Amino acid sequence: MVVVMASEATESDLDNVVSLVESAGGEAFVSRGVNRTIVGLVGDAERFEALNLGGQHGVVEVVRISAPYKLVSREHHAERSTVHVGGVPIGPGTMTLIAGPCAVETPEQTLEAALMAQSAGATLLRGGAFKPRTSPYAFQGLGEEGLRILADVRAETGMPIVTEVVDARDVELVARYADMLQIGTRNTQNFALLQAVGEAGKPVMIKRGMSGTIEEWLMSAEYVAQRGNLDVVLCERGIRTFEKATRNTLDISAVPVAQRLSHLPVIVDPSHSGGHRDLVLPLTRAAIAIGADGVIIDVHPHPETALCDGPQALVREDLAELTELMRALPPVVGRSLTAPAAAVPA
Amino acid sequence: MVVVMASEATESDLDNVVSLVESAGGEAFVSRGVNRTIVGLVGDAERFEALNLGGQHGVVEVVRISAPYKLVSREHHAERSTVHVGGVPIGPGTMTLIAGPCAVETPEQTLEAALMAQSAGATLLRGGAFKPRTSPYAFQGLGEEGLRILADVRAETGMPIVTEVVDARDVELVARYADMLQIGTRNTQNFALLQAVGEAGKPVMIKRGMSGTIEEWLMSAEYVAQRGNLDVVLCERGIRTFEKATRNTLDISAVPVAQRLSHLPVIVDPSHSGGHRDLVLPLTRAAIAIGADGVIIDVHPHPETALCDGPQALVREDLAELTELMRALPPVVGRSLTAPAAAVPA
Amino acid sequence: MVVVMASEATESDLDNVVSLVESAGGEAFVSRGVNRTIVGLVGDAERFEALNLGGQHGVVEVVRISAPYKLVSREHHAERSTVHVGGVPIGPGTMTLIAGPCAVETPEQTLEAALMAQSAGATLLRGGAFKPRTSPYAFQGLGEEGLRILADVRAETGMPIVTEVVDARDVELVARYADMLQIGTRNTQNFALLQAVGEAGKPVMIKRGMSGTIEEWLMSAEYVAQRGNLDVVLCERGIRTFEKATRNTLDISAVPVAQRLSHLPVIVDPSHSGGHRDLVLPLTRAAIAIGADGVIIDVHPHPETALCDGPQALVREDLAELTELMRALPPVVGRSLTAPAAAVPA
Amino acid sequence: MVVVMASEATESDLDNVVSLVESAGGEAFVSRGVNRTIVGLVGDAERFEALNLGGQHGVVEVVRISAPYKLVSREHHAERSTVHVGGVPIGPGTMTLIAGPCAVETPEQTLEAALMAQSAGATLLRGGAFKPRTSPYAFQGLGEEGLRILADVRAETGMPIVTEVVDARDVELVARYADMLQIGTRNTQNFALLQAVGEAGKPVMIKRGMSGTIEEWLMSAEYVAQRGNLDVVLCERGIRTFEKATRNTLDISAVPVAQRLSHLPVIVDPSHSGGHRDLVLPLTRAAIAIGADGVIIDVHPHPETALCDGPQALVREDLAELTELMRALPPVVGRSLTAPAAAVPA
């Protein structure tokens, strides 16, 4: 059950709702979005019914929700949501291009990649400072040094930053630099990490687990939402199947399915799905055409020397075609390419 | 190894090549396409080298092919092929809409569905007279009576027919009525059936096996090609994965991958992939955007009474949107919707 | 709904039941097993109820069955069945070893393999004369010549023959030689073939589809049973998953699951599951311990020159260990190794 | 490359090796096992060759390893390892039964489950105090209170404890109570957590990821080993496939494959694989027969009220059969059921 508070509701209105729920032996989870605050209830629904929550001051609506995820369900919020990342919207009506290097390696490489991305229409910069790697002997990222590089490139280009966090103990650090925190596919069910980013005060992007069902993905988003953060973006990045011609199998159907089940924005990662440079643009076209709210793409000035996932990065020669498709395709599906953020967040 | 014959090569040129190959202990498989005849060689490549096949009369080219599929490989034929079905092209440059009922039930239902399909831009009519069903107790199709209904509707609408054959013993019968023979997902490795349709003198559409790799799919096409029939269309229809929110997982990446490996046209079946009516149009948009050469869609005038797969059929209310997207989207990717066949084949 | 006839029921008792069912607009499928004849009904259950079928002469029992498979379901036949192949039982209480070469190549190779198999306790000989191969360029089997070799080896060793049939047009031919007809994993949903073997008068072994669910596997068996043949053996041979360290992933749990859902015997193919010689014996141990009714194993006198699947064949050096485990393990799970057939069928 | 130190090597011998490696621009990872200390080298192998590491004081052997995992590879340590947990061995020659409740709920329930487990031959107690749950609204475990209950039950029964840790920040806490730390399937690629348990000074059990390849599983073990802890046990618990008749598909072949690739012990979890009580004993028999070094089983005195995974727990009625199979089956494969620890660790 979810209680939706009025935008003008006061803290004492909220406290009142929480107290009532607790008095009925339940738990109340308060989530504050930009436009509304909602309270998720866990406990005995019949006892909650008796509380007359809908009649309390500051309460707009009380919704019973049959899905196992409550706060992120479209059942309680029919309108699809827009999440703002450093002023850049991700949501219905727009098509947001997020691009940058898979891993931050040097200031020069990061800036070059950012400028490449920006020239093709990207308004958000991706780049990894903490890299989860299958092998303990592989490059694990530059850590805080990488975050500083990203911040410098943001200052120079005006592009807000999306970067991954892999350890709950690093959330505070990463959140000081990042505009959106990314949860990678291997951590989609790292519940301690999900709860930590839920409390970090920054938007969160959750990649789908490589063998995660759509329902499990929404449950991961619910972990974040339950800690008070409704600014969550879902990212489809391919699932693991028997087919080995591609790195993963992009589950393109997951975009409309997730959008029907949840009000959260859904974007697509064509780079990690296909795993080959020559699949990135075709998959990007498919993602836009099916109605994704954004795409996140690897670009690299010198992929042959990349420390991570070079074979799937777009290069300079691809930028003209990327630029053209980001211009031409969104209008055909009733969207416009997202404009740059007016101001760069600190 | 593949020997490509000149368009003006004679039968005796061809016999000469075959004899040489056999003299070297090899086997020669002759495939006659509309524009060229090719000979696939099996045996000891070094002994073939010594035959100077390239210098024989009527031979244009000799190509060594590293892929396990030879005749359908793009290695020996860089240009992508167009297959003509009763005069309707499927191939690069065009976007062909194939639509109709999953199963032929009555003359009225079939005609209604065909007219719905045609109104949305379809130039080929799909419809099943022989239905492979998981349960022996489910409706198995009308058989030859269904084929007659399809032929009548073709006469009335001018739409060539695509229909499935499930038994090698029925190939001759089905080929008398059909303009293109369809091999379903459960028969993709029914090699006896593949060989039979390879000799039937009609174009063939091969659906991908529900757990078939892209390589296996191309090997199935090779079975048909090896029997002399290069007019093969590949159809991606979703693969079986752990995700159960959709009937199958549409492997959209398979379109560009198969087009890069093979010169054959590749189309998409958004109806059987998603298994839900409300996923058909989004998946169709993705298929067109990624560069498919066609789509094949279930439509039904009264899906609530359909004998097969009603939940995934488009209905009358969907036609306006389908029509509009078939008009607007192909030009964005450099294609035009295929025009109707000028004349209806017998 | 299934009608079980008494063992002493006459043909006219049976005709009476069929007529009644048809008079109620239904269809009746008669299946004759060794010990009982049953009639599967398709149509309106409420109208069938009104027929008082249970009160008809020669009828033992009328059973409503909720599973989609009827005749093979354990709901109507709680006791697990034994299938006899040329006098050799496969079923509860025994452990039957079927072994031989993947493909019949020469009389010598087949006899050698059969003697190897027999020395390790095998009582049935496997060997392929018709081989379904992914590539049209691979060895496709010796055809009828292979069947003749198998018959000769049967005459010499006394081992009844299990061999694959891949084309409905060959069923009559293969059934003249074979003691059990094998349906391979690629043909598990080749319904025309299933129906043809259902009418051939010989026991049938159905391998699980490489991406077939257990329910689909039982539905394939139902196709055979519906044509009047209840002598069906199910064979688990590994399913297709993301894991590539083995050729397939042996779904060992499928053995107890299928045995709980169906009364049919269930055996395991450890050779095609693992795809490596050194996995065959460990997987055989697991199959016996979990309660399989038999195992089917590739053996080859000279696997390095095998025309098919050499790497997974057991060789002479493995026979002592195989013999020992076939002796020691079945008793621990309450079974005994099946004894040789007393007489060799023609 | 791995450097194996002599058992009598001194700290200064070790420092010398590390210094040499660093002088050649490489990194050295020191892992101290009970019987030997090894040093994993990362860097330029050719430069390492020039160091004459094999000739240094205290060095037994220098091994080049082609697998991507080094320290856990069987290439550098042909003999299979035994890991001791509170005095109880897990390794070749023995069969160790680990059993207990999925989640610790109350002192009474935990003690009852432990006594049930012990009566059937279990020598290690499993039980979860921190539970990773797909839903944020599900029971998440008792936390430290649960650990205290486990410690009390250990004191009473003498059974060392295996329990899960889900957050790197809790490793120190859990390690104070546990005898073996468990990494669950959702955290198999939570690299921060793997590194933390690698430094905790307690044996670690790593469950296979639900869509993890065998190679990825060994790489996860390598993360732990690289931090100096070679006391790692691998646990196969089923993978995610298309088949939904079981909770997961137990990949029984993974046992011999992982044992051939790695020297680490490999155990099986039949409870979480099958997900049904009636599959637990059959899967246990298969696990023992194939050569697993142990099994880990859910038992519960009152599964109908269990807070977690009740349907898969064995109950009192199952204990006689479990006891009997743990007694009878291991000797058939050359093992004996592990005896209780002589002394209980603090």
Helices (H) and strands (E) in chain A, counts: 11, 15
Check D289 against C285: CB less than 8 A apart. Answer: yes
C328 touches chain D (CB under 8 A): yes
The CATH-assigned architecture of domain D2-63 is: 2-Layer Sandwich (3.30)
CA distance B36 to C95: 57
Nearest CA in chain C to A239: C242
Q: In this structure, what token pair is assigned to residue A230? A: 């409704």
Q: Which of A134, A242, A249 to mutate to test the interface with D (most CBs of D within 10 A)?
A: A134
What is the tens place of the pLDDT at every residue in D48-92?
A: 988 999 999 999 888 888 788 989 999 878 999 999 999 999 999
Residue D342's pLDDT band (boundaries 50, 70, 90)?
low
Check A244 against C240: CB less than 8 A apart. Answer: no
D187 touches chain A (CB under 8 A): yes
Check B190 against C191: CB less than 8 A apart. Answer: no
Model pLDDT, residue B98: 98
CATH code of domain B83-337:
3.20.20.70
Check A279 against B256: CB less than 8 A apart. Answer: yes
Model pLDDT, residue A13: 94
Q: What is the mean pLDDT of chain C?
A: 93
CA distance A168 to D6: 39
Q: Is A83-337 in the same CATH topology as A2-63?
A: no
Cα of first residue to Cα of last residue in chain D, in angstroms, is 37
Chain C residues in contact with D274 (beta carbon < 8 A): 253
Identity of the highest mean pLDDT range in D24-28, D88-92, D225-229? D88-92
Check B245 against A285: CB less than 8 A apart. Answer: no
- CA torsion, points A318, A324, A326, A329, in degrees to nearest 10? -130
Check D244 against C213: CB less than 8 A apart. Answer: yes
Domain boundaries, chain D: 2-63, 83-337
Enumerate residues 6+ apart whose C-beta is below 8 A from D108: none
Residue D34's pLDDT band (boundaries 50, 70, 90)?
low
Mean pLDDT of C157-167: 97
C245 touches chain A (CB under 8 A): no
**Residue C118 or residue A2, greater confidence:** C118
Q: Which of A191, A211, A230 to mutate to test the interface with D (most CBs of D within 10 A)?
A: A191
Model pLDDT, residue C46: 83
Identity of the highest mean pLDDT range in A15-19, A254-258, D37-41? A254-258
- CA torsion, points B299, B300, B301, B305, in degrees to nearest 10? -160
Of D211, D240, D242, the CB nearest to B240: D242
Q: What is the mean pLDDT of chain B?
A: 93
Model pLDDT, residue B34: 64
pLDDT at A111 over 70: yes
Of A249, A287, A328, the CB nearest to B251: A249
Length of chain B: 346
Model pLDDT, residue C37: 85
Closest by Cα among B2, B91, B74 to B260: B74
- Dihedral sign (CA C153, C158, C163, C167): positive
Nearest CA in chain D to A131: D191
Closest by Cα among B266, B262, B236, B231 to B249: B236
Check C134 against B219: CB less than 8 A apart. Answer: yes
**Residue A41 or residue D130, greater confidence:** D130
B243 touches chain D (CB under 8 A): no
In eight-state DSSP terms, residue A137 is T
Mean pLDDT of A20-36: 83
Chain B residues in contact with C222 (beta carbon < 8 A): 135-136
What is the tens place of the pLDDT at every residue in C53-82?
A: 999 999 988 888 878 898 999 987 899 999
What is the tens place of the pLDDT at every residue in C144-153?
A: 999 999 999 9
Model pLDDT, residue A206: 98
Chain C residues in contact with A244 (beta carbon < 8 A): 244
Does the interface ipTM go beyond 0.95?
A: no
D244 touches chain B (CB under 8 A): yes
C329 touches chain D (CB under 8 A): yes
Compute the nearest-CA separation of C19 from chain D (Å): 38
Q: In this structure, what token pair is assigned to residue D67? A: 């697998």
Q: Map residue C3 onto helix, strand or coil.
A: strand
pLDDT at D233 over 60: yes
Model pLDDT, residue A98: 98
Residue A261 CA to its chain's centroid (Å): 16
B137 touches chain D (CB under 8 A): no
Enumerate residues 6+ apart whose C-beta is below 8 A from C11: none
Model pLDDT, residue C346: 41
Compute the nearest-CA separation of C182 from chain D (Å): 23
D241 touches chain C (CB under 8 A): yes
Mean pLDDT of A208-223: 96
Percent of chain D whose pLDDT exceeds 70: 98
Chain D residues in contact with C327 (beta carbon < 8 A): none
Residue B346's pLDDT band (boundaries 50, 70, 90)?
very low
What is the tens place of the pLDDT at every residue in D184-225?
A: 999 999 999 999 999 999 999 999 999 999 999 999 999 999
Model pLDDT, residue A265: 98
pLDDT at C172 over 50: yes
Check B168 against C166: CB less than 8 A apart. Answer: no
B82-86: long-range contacts (C-beta < 8 A, 24 or more apart)?
B82/B265, B83/B203, B83/B231, B83/B232, B83/B233, B83/B264, B83/B265, B84/B34, B84/B203, B84/B231, B85/B124, B85/B160, B85/B162, B85/B179, B85/B180, B85/B203, B86/B124, B86/B160, B86/B161, B86/B179, B86/B180, B86/B341, B86/B344, B86/B345
Of D241, D244, D257, the CB nearest to C241: D241
pLDDT at D306 over 90: no
Q: Which of C239, C241, C242 to mutate to test the interface with A (most CBs of A within 10 A)?
A: C242
Nearest CA in chain B to C133: B191
CA distance D14 to D30: 9
Mean pLDDT of C242-258: 97
In eight-state DSSP terms, residue A186 is G
Chains that touch A (3 or more CB pairs under 8 A): B, C, D
Q: Which of D239, D240, D290 to mutate to test the interface with C (most CBs of C within 10 A)?
A: D290
Compute the nearest-CA separation of A103 from chain B (Å): 25
What is the tens place of the pLDDT at every residue in D317-329?
A: 999 999 999 999 9
CA distance B203 to B84: 8
CB A314 within 8 A of CB A112: no
SS3 of chain C: helix, strand, coil, percent, to 5? 40, 20, 40
A229 touches chain D (CB under 8 A): no
Chain D residues in contact with B242 (beta carbon < 8 A): 211, 240-242
**Residue B34 or residue D54, greater confidence:** D54
Check A241 against C244: CB less than 8 A apart. Answer: no
Residue D149's pLDDT band (boundaries 50, 70, 90)?
very high
CB B21 within 8 A of CB B27: yes
Percent of chain C whose pLDDT exceeds 90: 76
What DSSP letter does each residue of A260-277 carry, written as one string? Answer: HHBSS-EEE-HHHHH-SH
Compute the nearest-CA separation of B317 from chain A (Å): 19
pLDDT at D343 over 50: no
Chains that touch C (3 or more CB pairs under 8 A): A, B, D
Q: In this structure, what token pair is assigned to residue B158? A: 């001018």
Nearest CA in chain B to C189: B186
Q: Which of A202-211, B181-190, C36-45 has the lowest mean pLDDT?
A: C36-45
CB A243 within 8 A of CB D153: no
Chain D residues in contact with A190 (beta carbon < 8 A): 186-187, 190, 193
Mean pLDDT of D255-276: 97
D245 touches chain B (CB under 8 A): no
Q: Which of B57-71, B294-308, C325-339, D192-206 has the lowest mean pLDDT?
A: B57-71
Residue B343's pLDDT band (boundaries 50, 70, 90)?
very low
Chain A residues in contact with C241 (beta carbon < 8 A): 242
Q: What is the mean pLDDT of chain A?
A: 93
Nearest CA in chain B to A247: B253
Mean pLDDT of A52-73: 89
Model pLDDT, residue B64: 84
Check C241 against A244: CB less than 8 A apart. Answer: no
Of C244, C274, C332, the CB nearest to D328: C332
Neighbour tally for C134: CB within 10 Å:
18
SS3 of chain A: helix, strand, coil, percent, to 5? 40, 20, 40
Of A133, A192, A223, the CB nearest to D166: A192
Q: Which of A164-168, B276-280, C28-32, D119-123 has the lowest mean pLDDT?
A: C28-32
